[in-house]
A and B are shown apart, each in its own frame.
Chain A
């Protein structure tokens, strides 16, 4: 069975500071990895995804993530955050093939302060 751990439930940062949101997964097979963002009272929007190939993945809004197979991690980073990045961020994984359901982490609330 696959699982996702988001190590920080809340991350407060100041505007223009860098941020890293951590995600670790466990799976006995190859996985596909996703980061979604959720703004208040909105659905989930895909930020970026890792399917294969380059381990550094660039997404929307200046976010990027690095897939590290040996550490089973997929941490999300942004070099300089804005107030508008305040939102809940979810890491998710699926194994593809016949198992197409997503397993979500519990989420990390990023709060960007002025």
Chain B
């Protein structure tokens, strides 16, 4: 089945130690999104790629970066994680040309910062 895959599902990192989360998709969608979701809150969009074009949300901290080396893969880099960055990170995709831009979500990576 076509899907969005996130690895790892659980990640523990130390305060200030860089960490990378990965997302891959077999849907061949051209738009990929990264969301941060804290406990009992709605997902918060961090940034997205429209093809190779990177679009940062205005309130996304500089500590968060992203890379998209090809259509299938997208990475979230947290350069110096703080305790406040502990959250669930969700990757999603959608396809241009589907006017509703329905988003398909991966299972998420839960990040713990110690």
State the A residues within 8 Å of B (CB).
Answer: 32, 34, 36, 41-46, 49, 51, 88, 90, 94, 96-97, 100-102, 104-107, 109
Is B31 touching A44 in the complex (CB atoms < 8 A)?
no
Distance of A47 Cα from B58 Cα, bound (Å): 30
Given contacts A41-B108, A51-B100, 7 further A-B contacts (CB under 8 A): A34-B102, A41-B110, A43-B108, A45-B105, A46-B104, A100-B31, A100-B101
A/B interface sample: 27 pairs, CB < 8 A: A32-B99, A32-B100, A34-B102, A41-B88, A43-B4, A43-B105, A43-B106, A44-B103, A45-B105, A49-B100, A88-B40, A90-B42, A90-B43, A94-B101, A96-B99, A100-B94, A100-B101, A101-B33, A101-B45, A101-B48, A101-B101, A102-B45, A104-B43, A106-B42, A107-B40, A107-B41, A109-B40
The minimal Cβ–Cβ distance linking A25 to chain B, given in whole angstroms, is 14
State the B residues within 8 Å of A (CB).
Answer: 4, 6, 31, 33, 40-43, 45, 48, 88, 90, 92, 94, 96, 99-108, 110
The minimal Cβ–Cβ distance linking B39 to chain A, given in whole angstroms, is 10
The minimal Cβ–Cβ distance linking B107 to chain A, given in whole angstroms, is 5
The minimal Cβ–Cβ distance linking A1 to chain B, given in whole angstroms, is 13
Query: Known contacts A43-B90, A43-B107; is A96 also within 8 Å of B42 by CB?
Result: no
Residues of A within 8 A of B4 (CB): 43
Residues of A within 8 A of B102 (CB): 32, 34, 46, 49
Main secondary structure of the interface of A (DSSP, over half): strand
The minimal Cβ–Cβ distance linking B36 to chain A, given in whole angstroms, is 12
Residues of A within 8 A of B43 (CB): 44, 90, 104
The minimal Cβ–Cβ distance linking B37 to chain A, given in whole angstroms, is 9
Distance of A70 Cα from B39 Cα, bound (Å): 34
Distance of A65 Cα from B94 Cα, bound (Å): 22
Question: Would you list the 9 A-B pairs with minimal beta carbon distance, nearest first?
Answer: A100-B101, A43-B105, A104-B42, A44-B105, A32-B100, A43-B107, A43-B108, A96-B99, A51-B100
Is B42 touching A107 in the complex (CB atoms < 8 A)?
yes
